[in-house]
Structure 1
């Protein structure tokens, strides 16, 4: 398992670093390409749309060509996209090349997670998931600071070029260390559920597009936001109907018949909505309201990522013996309290920066107690042959939660105004979303994950 974890962690660190670096760089990219911030934000949206389109294929690809080949393909696409993005000549080309990155990034997480879950000993499942969470420790801590430094000391090109040595190392190690697991010759290959793919992938992409447009314009009822959202709901409904009736669906929704998995998915959906939705707020607050440089903004965000990562390492190991129903709801409550305190601090003009950071760090303690422990609890008891489907479902769930939360926070901030009062309102909405996750969390198993 150690070799698998090494490869997966390196690849995940690269993708998490990229997302956090680009978030800090949006304002600089807007100035560089002489494009409105709303246009440059599509570099993040295009990445998300590509993720949504490719994640549903992860389980099928692993069954068709093996997890190793799928992971190598994902690494190659992400690294190629990084190279192309570094040499983008205008906002349109940058957005297109970020989509290439997204095609690779969309496979990295579910495929990597599936490989780790298959290799992990059930008795030490939490420990394995804790190590899998290391990128969440490294990325949010190093990403904002590194991104700010690269922008201030070098140029915007380096926020993408920095991925190339990491991507090359990950490709080399994956090729050398991962065991071949391609289907045996003569074994029946899984069939691609083409109707399912043609409904789910466009459905998810349209949903994210509609949410992004609604967040950008501040009006979810505008035709540009409402039409794709309604179309997405029809496509997703058609997929659900098909997935529950065909023999080999693109995504096995029967996993939700497992009560623990279903409750875990619900907890994570609400929690990621508030947690990831708030991630765009802090860099905007520090640079827009407090007028700090990208480097300073990155340094002020880094302690929160460090808190999340350290707490996650402890809590994910603890979940091997602790009661999920006791540990995870406490984490939800702490995260919601920390986010509410952040709202109060950012709403006060001229407040000392350490007070905002301290409140956000309390939220980080709660987030570390929720994210990986909930994933561990949800998947530990599933059969090994269902891990690919489970990791795909978790990937889709996380992406949708993050997109919904980002859209809601964007609309709230756009409506309330990008001033202290507006940020207070936006952080308060994120706190409410986090707090809502306590309801499904209370339905998690009452016994320790090891014996539940």
Structure 2
């Protein structure tokens, strides 16, 4: 056994060629799958017109993909144990490429939705499988730097997705939103075949926890659906929201009870994930994901509804966030490996909070440079937070529990982002009703019925909602401060 503080023979403390090749394969495969979560959003109206169907129906192109992602993630830990990480990476990437091709060829809305589900089933496992491979190879001494690498696709998605989607919708057929995935993913597939080592850590006798799967996957999908419904304007007292939220919550609670009883044979062995570091870091990441996703939703909406800008122009407002994150991400990962990441994360949260407070002062006359500057500051903070929090979550986690830890963390981040979307939508609806007498809070209504005062009134609703994002950021500091100050030297052992 090799202790966490000692690099195994042949493994340098830096990013050696083998780890670099593995990182390239993971980033190539993950980047388009993560981008696809946002790239389609800007084309919903165009898709509805082309297929001659309602917005509520075409919205399932996004919802179906999201639900498939959510249902696939819980299967990651077992599938890696049973078939190996390399095999599951190739299978998942193959499903995603097949789904992308079929989506581009779709002849009807039901066909497009079905193919999006196939795409989501492949995409849902790619990020956690890739993360598992990198964590196992890196060991604890290089965890921060590796998490900086794996954060790149997640960072680029909300920034480049709207831009790329806007360019395609404005200049090409919507089908190219799916065809564009194929060349890059094909390169990723060929690179994986050549560069990934053969699976050695797998167990042919690993049994699928069918009961756990039937509890967690539908439960997570129901909860994400409820949050998506709230994000799309569904009333919190509405039947669909309540039914989905109650069913999802009940199934997840039942899974937790089941998992603790079943132990090692559970779909996700929760008993191994009860460390202070994992609980606090993933709890902080859940809240932080909710806050930062709300910012990335609100800024383009503000540009479109208040300033009347195009989807492409609105998307450009997010671009500085990516630049800011790239400026701090590599450095923060290296510093986290050397000194521990807790205070880096706290500083990052305060940085994001500073950018958020600038956004609470927006008005229709606010210059683009002010918004872009605020998002650059948010990006600087994000680059300090994401890799450090992910690295800290693995403190004290044994090597054999890495797939379960990665699966659990990805589930919480997925639910956290959906939670942030729902909170943002509800807060914005309440703000619109308060600011515009007689309004229902609907964004479509606010956009359609405009007067000379409407932009200023809508701006007030948005700034109030930005304060909600700031409040969630502040609350995220509580679990973050509970993360152990320095990594233990006995974590993540290797055979």
Structure 1 residue 442: deviation in Å? 1.1
The structure having more radius of gyration, on CA atoms, is 2
2:339 is paired with a residue whose SS is coil
Q: Contact conserved, 1:72 with 1:171, CA < 8 A, in 2?
A: yes
Q: TM-score, normalised by structure 1?
A: 0.93
Does the alignment pair 1:85 with 2:103? yes
The alignment's C-alpha RMSD in Å is 2.1
Q: TM-score, normalised by structure 2?
A: 0.85
**1:177-196 alignment to 2 at 5 Å?**
177-181=195-199, 188-196=204-212
Match for residue 40 of structure 2 among 14, 19, 22: 22
Deviations 1:294-330 (A, max 9, x none): 3222222211122223322221221112343321112
Distance 2:83 2:321 in 1: 39
**1:255-404 alignment to 2 at 5 Å?**
255-345=272-362, 348-404=363-419
Aligned CA distance change for structure 1 residues 420 and 220 (closer, same or farther; 3 Å): same
**1:98-109 alignment to 2 at 5 Å?**
98-109=116-127
Q: Contact conserved, 2:279 with 2:393, CA < 8 A, in 1?
A: yes
Q: Contact conserved, 2:35 with 2:161, CA < 8 A, in 1?
A: yes
Does the alignment pair 1:229 with 2:268? no
Deviations 1:32-57 (A, max 9, x none): 34444444433222222111111111
Match for residue 173 of structure 2 among 155, 158, 162: 155
Distance 2:476 2:85 in 1: 32
> In terms of mean alpha carbon deviation, does 274-283 or 405-414 score higher?
274-283
In the alignment, structure 1 segments of 5+ residues that lack a partner are: none
Structure 1 residue 449: deviation in Å? 7.1
**1:199-210 alignment to 2 at 5 Å?**
199-210=215-226
**1:415-426 alignment to 2 at 5 Å?**
415-417=430-432, 418=443, 419-426=458-465
Q: Contact conserved, 2:36 with 2:161, CA < 8 A, in 1?
A: yes
Distance 1:104 1:280 in 2: 25
Does the alignment pair 1:427 with 2:466? yes
Deviations 1:162-186 (A, max 9, x none): 10101111111112211111667xx
- The total of aligned residue pairs comes to 448
Match of 1:406 in 2: 421
Distance 1:166 1:298 in 2: 22
Q: Contact conserved, 1:81 with 1:100, CA < 8 A, in 2?
A: yes
Does the alignment pair 1:219 with 2:210? no
1:180 is paired with a residue whose SS is coil
**1:126-137 alignment to 2 at 5 Å?**
126-137=144-155
Aligned CA distance change for structure 1 residues 432 and 451 (closer, same or farther; 3 Å): farther
> In terms of mean alpha carbon deviation, does 31-40 or 281-290 score higher?
31-40
Distance 1:310 1:131 in 2: 13
Distance 1:183 1:140 in 2: 34
Q: Contact conserved, 1:149 with 1:294, CA < 8 A, in 2?
A: no
Distance 1:235 1:183 in 2: 31
Q: Contact conserved, 2:82 with 2:204, CA < 8 A, in 1?
A: no
Distance 2:470 2:45 in 1: 26
Match of 2:483 in 1: 444
Structure 1 residue 370: deviation in Å? 1.1
Does the alignment pair 1:146 with 2:164? yes
1:192 is paired with a residue whose SS is coil
Distance 2:297 2:113 in 1: 18
Aligned CA distance change for structure 1 residues 310 and 105 (closer, same or farther; 3 Å): farther
Q: Contact conserved, 1:123 with 1:450, CA < 8 A, in 2?
A: no
1:366 is paired with a residue whose SS is helix
